[in-house]
Amino acid sequence: MAETEIKKLSIIIPAYNEIKTIEELIEKVEAVKLPLLKEIIVVDDCSTDGTAEVLVKLGGKKENLKIILSRKNGGKGSALKSGFFAATGDIIIIQDADLEYDPEEYGILIEPMLLGKADVVYGSRFFTGKAKRVLYFWHISANLFLTFLSNLLTGLTLTDMETGYKAFRREVVDSFKSDIRAKRFGIEPEITAKIAKGKWRIYEVGISYYGRTYTEGKKISWKDGIAAIWHIVRFNLFK
């Protein structure tokens, strides 16, 4: 894709019970200065803490903000699938709603695409000299192991397969969005397996990471880590 063809960026934000951060996050996304039009799509995954009500109010005030309200909780994968189908941008970014990733780094994430070199860009929390909050040893170890296992089966050399910051050219998303099956956090290895099979040009860039503790609202657990092993095997070795 030539640089001149990239005119619009879609930011997909899956949200579940993020009333403490969702309004601040949207303000941060809106404040990012880029040479592109921005489309913000928030998919509320049937929150029970008032997140949906906040989003409905914001959606009525902001022209570039699309709100999708799920009727039942389907998980991150389900929310992203809805967002992918609603997106109209030339580049699509995934942005978690919890402020662990800084919207000010969108420029870093999409630069390889604007230069016409990349189809997919992963923002790595490990391939970086940027700020990173020091948190759980076993959580980091699990991420590194899952990335290793994924690389073993995909043939890629990623340093952070589980990152919440991923950017895609539109045609990449169009190639896999109808076939998404993972409902929860298995969406990360599923997307990685699909883009590896698609032979797209994949880049990594270093990003900052302002991680949360479980008391601050972090949702992924050891059960999701175990499930991710199955998802890596499933989506790489089976159709």
pLDDT for position 90: 97
pTM of the model: 0.89
Q: Which residues does residue 122 pair with via DSSP β-bridges, in sequence order?
A: 166, 204
Residue 131 clears pLDDT 70, i.e. is over it = no
DSSP category for residue 132: B
pLDDT for position 60: 77
**Is residue 33 helix, strand or coil?**
coil
Of the pLDDT bands very low, low, confident and very high (cuts 50, 70, 90), residue 1 is very low
* Strands of 45-201, DSSP E: 65-69, 91-94, 120-124, 166-169
- Contact 121/192 with Cβ under 8 angstroms? no
pLDDT for position 214: 53
Over residues 82-121, the pLDDT tens digits come to 999 999 999 999 999 989 999 999 999 999 999 999 999 9
Domain boundaries, the chain: 3-237
In the chain, pLDDT over 70 holds for what percent of residues?
Answer: 89
Residue 129 clears pLDDT 80, i.e. is over it = no
- Contact 82/43 with Cβ under 8 angstroms? yes
Of the pLDDT bands very low, low, confident and very high (cuts 50, 70, 90), residue 3 is very low
**CATH says 3-237 is which class?**
alpha beta
Residue 212 clears pLDDT 60, i.e. is over it = no
Do the bridges between strand 202-206 and strand 120-124 make them parallel or antiparallel, or are there none, so unpaired? parallel
- Contact 16/47 with Cβ under 8 angstroms? yes
136: phi then psi, degrees, rounded to nearest 5:
-85, 125
* Strands of 29-148, DSSP E: 37-44, 65-69, 91-94, 120-124
Mean pLDDT of 41-63: 92
CA distance 11 to 191: 17
Residue scoring higher pLDDT (175 or 209): 175
